[in-house]
Structure 1
Amino acid sequence: MTRFDPYGDLPRALRIALVALLLVAAVATAGAFAADPEATAPSPAAYDDVVELGLSSETDALMAGSARVPRTQVFYSQLQYVVGYNGVESFAATLDDGRTERQFGYPIAAYVETFDGARPGTIETGLFAAESAGEWTPAAEATYVVGSDARSPAGETVVPFRERGAAEAFAADHGGRAVDWETVRSRSFDTDSAATVRAMAPERWAGADGRIAAAERRADRPVSVVVGEDAPTIEAAVAAAPANTTVVVPPGTYEETLTVNESVTIAGEDAQISGDGDGSVITVRAPDVALTGLAVDGSGGQTRDPEAAREGRADDGGVNGSDDGEVWDTNIQLGYGHGDAGIRAIGAPGLVVDDVTVEANASGLLLREGSHAVVRDLRVDGADSWQDGFMGIAGMGSRVTVTDSAFEGGRDGIYLHRADGSVVRNSTFTDNRYGTHLMYTGDALIADNAFRNELFGGITVMTRPSGNAIVGNDVRNSSAGVQASGTRTYVGYNTLVGNELGFSTSSRGSLYERNVAANNELGARATTVVPSSRIVANDFVGNADHATAGAGALRVWADGDRGNYWEGANVGVHEPGERAYRPTAPVDAALHREVAAVAVRESPAVALLDRLRGTVPGARSGSIIDPAPAAEPYSPDRIDAALDPDAGPVRADWRAELGDGSGESDEDAAMNAHDRNATSGGIGPRPQRSDRTTVPTVEGATASIRGVSDA
């Protein structure tokens, strides 16, 4: 095979780049010898100033009042940020995973929150609680209670104490035993992680199947009233119908608005219900109502109710006024949840909406106050300009299961706010601001949907979510494909084509795998300041830039010897996968666009810079490295389908590959075990490491942490 000659004739631009790299190498080398390491250990920082990882402290609904998650803060040798771990086990799990030390350096000092004088205990739900925050104690000097009845939102929690006597007293009251730091590191904990979310995605799909089947049975009721025969209007028919019966609405247009206060099915046959342009057309205030076979239009155009928000803040006694986030949350719930809609449900759990079309002036379907709903075959046509419309579905404090539906135009196709456990699947979203937009919503499944021409993004998840699974979606020609914040998110098997951004890695302690990012302006963006997620087995093809990274530590995008596929990464004189690939480096980033860039890559200057990375902190900031780039794509068939302009949405067979929850492949088991130990979950056994690089310790501070780390 003919190899590219790296020292042949170079284009002028690349010759200039080579000279520039030589200068950079010289400057970086000088800086390497000018560093003056600190001689003393740093003192604990205010926790508000750290960058948080591990179990999210943002599970605010669970952690209200005195419930707490014991915290750890760590100073690393090559990281300018103090890292805070919510959950002692979260930090312990990182010490021997290899990736953390490569990205952050070794821990200079670590402190744990100890609760000797804080009257520690548990609340009724079993969550660990204390009357006040703890004091900071060096991790190696603390005593820990393991195996007690104290829990965190993610599972068993380790409770630290400064004095052994305090730890033993807590264990006497709550079970467990007092151990030292080395014993904590050797234990395995049953905690939640991105691996758990990955494994549960097929189960969530199956759970949605069950809810849909139950909704079908619930909607199938005997006929009691026929509009036009037994009652003159739909509202009169509903008022006359006994509970658990069906009101039949024959074909025709019915100009009325109605309120449903009884558990009935309203079954239309090509029936159009048209409101008068003021308020909502159908308001449901009873449980187990079913609406089928209807077309709805003529709602008012009010998208939110500022007066409701003002009254809500006045009624809370000023509690929310102490926290800007709570004020904003209240405003969203009370404002967004009180606008007009084609169908509005208030305190109406068990709602079924099937085979319904809504022409929306504001929201299509508005759910609030626990109006948990199953929605199938709903079509919402929103405003041409998103500023003029509102949500296709707005779920406020209401879990929703949506399948086989379509949302076009308007603000957001589906907006969910504190709607934990929702499922959105097999649906299409076109010309929205956001396709699916989640706020404060966790444990959701967003799967097998198609998004087109979304102005701000296809799938966007914001504000303190945890445990979401975003799987098998196809997003094209949008501002962004997938942007998910929070913790423990699983983003897998998505196809992201022709967007400004394919996906961002903004969810902490998460797993991004088997995604295809093709022909985007930017394939992926690393956005968290301190990386804690795993990005592996993704395919990057035809992007203007494969990946970029914001400020922060070096991001290692691989899992051991398994990395991602980067088009252009294996160009050159090396065997495929033999040389690391840095999508954020100027030369590597150009390899898939300009093959001549390989000459600069093989130059002595670049080789020197490669050696400097990892020893000079400044050379690591804002960068990504894949030490094991794949030689071939992981999903070639999906890439071919994604690049075919005549192909429809690409469907990945992710449920078959992830399993049905009854078992897992050897590869799945290995990946899940890695997740539990390295992402944000439990602690597994620590193998002896003979390849550890010897590094200097900080006198009086580092030896205890490093000594345990080497055990």
Structure 2
Amino acid sequence: MAVFDTDSARSRRLRLAAVALVAVAAVGTAGAFTADPSESVPEPVRFDDAVELGLSSETDALMADDATLPRVQVFYSQLQYVVGYNGIASFVESLSDGRTERQFGYPLIAYVETFDHRDAGTTESGLFSASGAGGWTPVGEARYVVDSDARTPAGAVVVPFAEHEAAAAFADDHGGSVVGWEAVRGRSFDVDSAATVRALAPDRWRTANERLAAAERRADRPVSVVVGEDAPTIDAAVAAAPPNTTVRVPPGTYEETVTVNRSVTIAGAGTGSERGDERVTRVVGNGTGSVITVRAPDVALAGMRIAGTGNRTRDPDAARESRDPEGGTWDTNIQLGYGHGDAGVKAVGAPGLVVDDVVVDTNASGILLREGSHATVSGLVVDGTDEWQEGFMGITGMESRVTVSDSRFEGGRDGIYLHRADGSIVRNSTFADNRYGTHLMYTGDALVADNAFRNELFAGVTVMTRPAGNAIVGNDVRNSSAGIQASGTRTYIGYNTLVGNELGFSTSARGSLYEHNVVVDNELGARATTVVPSSRVAANDFVRNGDHAAAGAGALRVWADGDRGNYWEGANVGPHDSGSRAYRPTSPVDAALHREVSAVTVRESPAARLLDRLRGTVPGARSGSIVDPAPATEPYHPDRVDAATTADTDRRVPTGWRSALARTGNATALRHSTEWRRADRPATAGGEA
């Protein structure tokens, strides 16, 4: 029943280890499972009681299409929790990565979900599906159908059965062949990883350039109506303008609200940032509702200041419904509540929106996008409320992808809030005095790059719920409660500069990669937060933090990638050669080395050496700890460390990440890049956004 040869001497030792494992006391972590001490070989558990790894966003996509993803649950020799893998491929890949065994111990037994009596088949779109509750079979005893016509959103699927006859029947109907576990384990799976996301990040930057260039071309239209000459108001001018022409709005103050129901450009004289105030075009609402409402594709707004919005931040009925357990899902109610407030510009079902050189003074949202209103935004300035509770978002994007460049968001609730806005890009922008700077919910395949965040109340960049494939690169976060807190899977967090925050970053994302971040002068440099670690943390520079790192409950975290560790100020003091001794930032002694050099005396004591030997062999001594087995002898980015502490704090420290990451591209990344660009098309009618 074990994952490997049950007759081997190692497996016999591991079965004895299983008895020791199940005697470990439970810890108070919600949703975690500790094996029953009466069981010598653990029985399978409800998958909801396992700590899930794998493709969580893929699981969402499958559920939306009434499809099914085969799952695996694994008991490891030095882990108190059952680990659940979404997808057999993700478990197979974990067996060969060399890190899982070091952190979790050896897999004692693994169970695979089998589909013998579940009417296994495919949906109309070819996704694997099955009905009813399945059984759990040891992986070594199950039979697997490979190379069938069944698929998942990520590609081919391995379909497991408890009996050969059931597997053969499925293969007769859907093609493929029936194989055993060793054949499955020996296969190579094309599993997306954070390294793929890393390689795609420069391409996403280029995609932003293309979207901005297309938006500029789309907005460049001949003038057909001039306000004050051909029509008395902006609203009347828009109604009179033929499609695909420009309404020119001369300098002045226009006290009105505007509805745009056709594809036109509204071009003001400017916002006053480069011209004198006498050349400004101002559009001022009456203090209720939104000022400009867009309900047509390919509309462009440029060169104007907008004020006079209402102060409604959400729909009251939907907000009340969201507090009612019977009123619908939290996700839906948030979209209803957040998507129906007031804004300087509100777009509903308006793909291809272009906003350029616009300033919005608002008591609610600056720009509100809903129902596929994919937008390209540049040169936007949103001035929100002084108290975040009294205002709302600079940009609110509900199921609407945005590309934001060279903009500024100050005050209010969140600078940018995106909800199910896959493929969005936020770059080269400044955020200050918000609750969150950039806040993503259910939003994957996004790029957040080269932004500056200052004095954010909760965090600079926050990613919540179950997204995948996000790249957070080259940002500079200072003087905030947290720098970067990103959840989800397959996230790439690299080349960021995190200075003077209460927390630099947390490793909340699973199956992700944290590298080349400069973490300086924070109260806490980094925190390991996932119960079951599955991410890589390497080549980061930790300097002058109160504490370099801390960890919550869970298995030993190994923060290195092979022989590439992190730079920890203080790690190399003492009589040993630099980089030759492991560093434990969660150890009371090691954690003090960069503050108190005399702590090295304690570190070299016989008692400390004995404790070092115990760590990594006794499960209880591993809990809530981090070890770097190959600490770097010098900072990876000394120039960035110096710039972070000496440069003007209002300026972002340049990182050169695009040229660095361009060198990591490969054929796999190119293929995924093509797929990402294909998915980049607007979901509804209208121009590219």
Instruction: Tell whether the structures are fold-level matches, with TM greater than 0.5.
Output: yes
Equivalent residues of 2:453, 2:476 under 8 A apart: yes
Against the structure 1 CA distance between its residues 142 and 256, is the aligned structure 2 distance closer, same or farther, given a 3 Å change threshold?
A: same
Q: Partner of 2:659: helix, strand, or coil? A: helix
User: What is the CA distance between 1:346 and its match in structure 2?
Assistant: 0.5
Q: Partner of 1:171: helix, strand, or coil? A: helix
In structure 2, the residue matched to 1:491 is 493
In structure 1, the residue matched to 2:682 is none
Query: 1:432 aligned to 426, 430, 434, which one?
Result: 434
User: What is the CA distance between 1:590 and its match in structure 2?
Assistant: 0.4
In structure 1, the residue matched to 2:262 is 262
Aligned equivalents of 1:561 and 1:400: distance in 2?
A: 39
User: What is the CA distance between 1:661 and its match in structure 2?
Assistant: 8.1
User: What is the CA distance between 1:172 and its match in structure 2?
Assistant: 2.7
In structure 2, the residue matched to 1:584 is 586
Residue 654 of structure 2 aligns with an amino acid whose one-letter code is: R
User: What is the CA distance between 1:238 and its match in structure 2?
Assistant: 0.2
In structure 2, the residue matched to 1:182 is 182
Within a 5 Å distance, the mapping from 1:437-448 to structure 2 comes to 437-448=439-450
Within a 5 Å distance, the mapping from 1:523-562 to structure 2 comes to 523-562=525-564
Range moving further from structure 2, 140-149 or 261-270: 140-149
TM-score by length of 1: 0.86
Q: Partner of 1:287: helix, strand, or coil? A: coil
Question: Residues 80-100 of structure 1: CA distance to partner in whole angstroms, max 9, x if unpaired?
Answer: 111000011111222243211
Against the structure 1 CA distance between its residues 157 and 210, is the aligned structure 2 distance closer, same or farther, given a 3 Å change threshold?
A: same
Residue 569 of structure 1 aligns with an amino acid whose one-letter code is: A
Within a 5 Å distance, the mapping from 1:101-112 to structure 2 comes to 101-112=101-112
Question: Residues 488-513 of structure 1: CA distance to partner in whole angstroms, max 9, x if unpaired?
Answer: 11101100000000000000111111
Aligned equivalents of 2:298 and 2:664: distance in 1?
A: 30
In structure 1, the residue matched to 2:653 is 650
In structure 1, the residue matched to 2:421 is 419
User: What is the CA distance between 1:190 and its match in structure 2?
Assistant: 1.5
In structure 2, the residue matched to 1:572 is 574
Within a 5 Å distance, the mapping from 1:109-508 to structure 2 comes to 109-269=109-269, 270-309=280-319, 321=326, 327-508=329-510
Q: How many residues align?
A: 629
Against the structure 1 CA distance between its residues 346 and 62, is the aligned structure 2 distance closer, same or farther, given a 3 Å change threshold?
A: farther
Aligned equivalents of 1:272 and 1:661: distance in 2?
A: 47
Question: Residues 142-170 of structure 1: CA distance to partner in whole angstroms, max 9, x if unpaired?
Answer: 11122223222333221111112222222
Aligned equivalents of 1:664 and 1:166: distance in 2?
A: 38
Aligned equivalents of 2:617 and 2:133: distance in 1?
A: 37
Question: Residues 88-131 of structure 1: CA distance to partner in whole angstroms, max 9, x if unpaired?
Answer: 11112222432111111111211000111111122233322112
Question: Residues 551-593 of structure 1: CA distance to partner in whole angstroms, max 9, x if unpaired?
Answer: 0000000111111110100110110110000000000000000
Unaligned runs of 5+ in 1: 1-30, 315-319, 673-711
User: What is the CA distance between 1:664 and its match in structure 2?
Assistant: 8.4
User: What is the CA distance between 1:63 and its match in structure 2?
Assistant: 2.5
Residue 126 of structure 1 aligns with an amino acid whose one-letter code is: G
Aligned equivalents of 1:587 and 1:580: distance in 2?
A: 13
Aligned equivalents of 2:413 and 2:61: distance in 1?
A: 27
Q: Partner of 1:432: helix, strand, or coil? A: coil
Equivalent residues of 1:197, 1:489 under 8 A apart: yes
User: What is the CA distance between 1:200 and its match in structure 2?
Assistant: 1.1
In structure 2, the residue matched to 1:688 is none
User: What is the CA distance between 1:35 and its match in structure 2?
Assistant: 8.2
Of the two structures, which has the highest relative contact order with CA contacts closer than 8 Å and spacing of 6 or more? 1
Q: Partner of 1:63: helix, strand, or coil? A: helix
Equivalent residues of 1:490, 1:511 under 8 A apart: yes
User: What is the CA distance between 1:59 and its match in structure 2?
Assistant: 4.3
Within a 5 Å distance, the mapping from 1:611-626 to structure 2 comes to 611-626=613-628
User: What is the CA distance between 1:58 and its match in structure 2?
Assistant: 6.3
Aligned equivalents of 2:605 and 2:320: distance in 1?
A: 65
In structure 1, the residue matched to 2:601 is 599
Equivalent residues of 2:199, 2:666 under 8 A apart: no
Q: Partner of 1:508: helix, strand, or coil? A: coil
Residue 81 of structure 1 aligns with an amino acid whose one-letter code is: Y
Equivalent residues of 1:66, 1:131 under 8 A apart: no
In structure 1, the residue matched to 2:523 is 521
Unaligned runs of 5+ in 2: 1-19, 26-36, 270-279, 673-689
Question: Residues 595-625 of structure 1: CA distance to partner in whole angstroms, max 9, x if unpaired?
Answer: 0001111111111111111221110000000
Equivalent residues of 1:59, 1:464 under 8 A apart: no
Residue 316 of structure 2 aligns with an amino acid whose one-letter code is: P
Q: Partner of 2:360: helix, strand, or coil? A: strand
Aligned equivalents of 1:311 and 1:475: distance in 2?
A: 36
Range moving further from structure 2, 172-181 or 293-302: 172-181
Aligned equivalents of 1:561 and 1:661: distance in 2?
A: 18
Aligned equivalents of 2:199 and 2:554: distance in 1?
A: 30
Residue 521 of structure 1 aligns with an amino acid whose one-letter code is: E
Equivalent residues of 2:377, 2:403 under 8 A apart: yes
Question: Residues 169-225 of structure 1: CA distance to partner in whole angstroms, max 9, x if unpaired?
Answer: 222332322111111111111221112211111111111111111111110011100
Aligned equivalents of 1:660 and 1:645: distance in 2?
A: 28
Q: Partner of 2:378: helix, strand, or coil? A: strand
Residue 283 of structure 1 aligns with an amino acid whose one-letter code is: T
Q: Partner of 1:97: helix, strand, or coil? A: coil
Aligned equivalents of 2:659 and 2:162: distance in 1?
A: 49
Q: Partner of 2:589: helix, strand, or coil? A: helix
Q: Partner of 1:94: helix, strand, or coil? A: helix
Within a 5 Å distance, the mapping from 1:88-103 to structure 2 comes to 88-103=88-103
Equivalent residues of 1:58, 1:464 under 8 A apart: no
Against the structure 1 CA distance between its residues 379 and 540, is the aligned structure 2 distance closer, same or farther, given a 3 Å change threshold?
A: same
In structure 2, the residue matched to 1:678 is none
TM-score by length of 2: 0.88
Question: Residues 12-40 of structure 1: CA distance to partner in whole angstroms, max 9, x if unpaired?
Answer: xxxxxxxxxxxxxxxxxxx99x9899772
Residue 134 of structure 1 aligns with an amino acid whose one-letter code is: G
Q: Partner of 2:182: helix, strand, or coil? A: helix
Against the structure 1 CA distance between its residues 35 and 133, is the aligned structure 2 distance closer, same or farther, given a 3 Å change threshold?
A: closer
Residue 302 of structure 2 aligns with an amino acid whose one-letter code is: T
Residue 196 of structure 2 aligns with an amino acid whose one-letter code is: T
In structure 1, the residue matched to 2:681 is none
Aligned equivalents of 1:82 and 1:70: distance in 2?
A: 16
Q: Partner of 1:141: helix, strand, or coil? A: coil
Aligned equivalents of 2:667 and 2:175: distance in 1?
A: 34
Q: Partner of 1:217: helix, strand, or coil? A: helix
Residue 268 of structure 1 aligns with an amino acid whose one-letter code is: G
User: C-alpha root-mean-square deviation of aligned residues, in Å?
Assistant: 2.2
Aligned equivalents of 1:57 and 1:295: distance in 2?
A: 39
Aligned equivalents of 1:122 and 1:129: distance in 2?
A: 5
Aligned equivalents of 1:38 and 1:583: distance in 2?
A: 37
Residue 517 of structure 1 aligns with an amino acid whose one-letter code is: V
Residue 242 of structure 2 aligns with an amino acid whose one-letter code is: P
Aligned equivalents of 1:59 and 1:478: distance in 2?
A: 34
Aligned equivalents of 1:238 and 1:39: distance in 2?
A: 75
